[in-house]
Structure 1
Amino acid sequence: MSQDSESSVCNIFKDNSSKIINKLEMQIPSHFQIYSDMYKEYLHLLDDIFGTCIISEKEFFEKMNTDKNSMKNIKSFSDSLTDFWIKQIDNYDNYLKWYSQMRISGMKSYDQFVHIMMDSYSKSLSNFSTNFED
């Protein structure tokens, strides 16, 4: 850190906050990968549960001599639920995209506001120091 940056509280805070932000930004890819791996494992676990269910139920339903129409109705019902959930997943994905765009827009607006306020603050300090020198 240079001598000039040590003389300013804002520079000291800026330098240190930049270090923290850079560290967090460097971890973003690994955090996404960690959560992605966990989520994929969770999804595969659910898929596997239904895969093992097939083996157990096949023998059970064969012994019960179930009606073919019952299975068609169950399939139709299951297909309807699947279509519903796929649409819900798409809707949620669209919502997340909209939500993130809204949040980013809000952050950009706030950043502009802070810049305007800091400019005003700088002018006030400049006016104060000018009046102080007189």
Structure 2
Amino acid sequence: MSTDDSPSICNVWKGNTSKIINKLELQIPSHFQIYSDMYKEYLRSIDDIFGTCVLSEKEFFDKLNIDPNFMKNLGMYSNFLSGIWINQIENYDNYLKWYSQMRISGLKSYEEFIHTMMDSYSKTLSNLSKNMKK
């Protein structure tokens, strides 16, 4: 049996590491769908609560004879606040995109560094191996 056919410590760990990583990668779509479904249900529930509230309170507020100008101003104020929230949602989305790009870039830089270090490590092992044969 040649040395190329014998398993190495790195091959044993690499094989099992790859199995685990592949399993995790296969779970990504399922996890995204699960969190997406939960988030959608959360948002739908909030929307439904406000819809129910409107139906329940309509008759009460109709009897108060609230000034139409007040309602107009309240609507404008509500639109203003909604605009701020929508702007914040968009800003947070942009932040998440930037943050993920930064993290991915950092991981790629780290991977390049590790490859450089592993090349150096391999050369050192090779030199040690040559010296051990002498």
TM-score by length of 2: 0.94
List per-residue Cα deviations over 1:65-105 (Å, max 9, x = no partner). Answer: 11111111111111000000101011001001000000000
Q: Work out the CA distance in 2 between the residues paired with 1:12 and 1:6.
A: 11
Q: Does 1:10 align with 2:10?
A: yes
Which residue of structure 2 aligns with residue 128 of structure 1?
Answer: 128
- Runs of 4+ in structure 1 off by over 3 angstroms are 3-6
Which residue of structure 1 aligns with residue 33 of structure 2?
Answer: 33
Question: CA, structure 1 residues 6+38, in 2 after alignment: closer, same or farther (shift >3 Å)?
Answer: farther
Identify unmatched segments of 5+ residues in structure 1: none
Q: Work out the CA distance in 1 between the residues paired with 2:96 and 2:5.
A: 40
Letter of the 2:89 partner, please give it.
I
For these two proteins, the number of residue pairs brought into alignment is 132
Cα displacement (A) at 1:114? 0.6
Tell which deviates more after alignment, 119-128 or 61-70. Answer: 61-70
Identical counterparts, % of pairs: 68
Cα displacement (A) at 1:60? 1.0
Letter of the 1:36 partner, please give it.
S
Cα displacement (A) at 1:4? 5.4
Q: Does 1:64 align with 2:64?
A: yes
Cα displacement (A) at 1:5? 7.1
Question: CA, structure 1 residues 33+86, in 2 after alignment: closer, same or farther (shift >3 Å)?
Answer: same
Cα displacement (A) at 1:12? 0.5
Q: Work out the CA distance in 2 between the residues paired with 1:44 and 1:5.
A: 59
Cα displacement (A) at 1:7? 2.6
Higher RCO (C-alpha under 8 Å, 6+ residues apart):
1
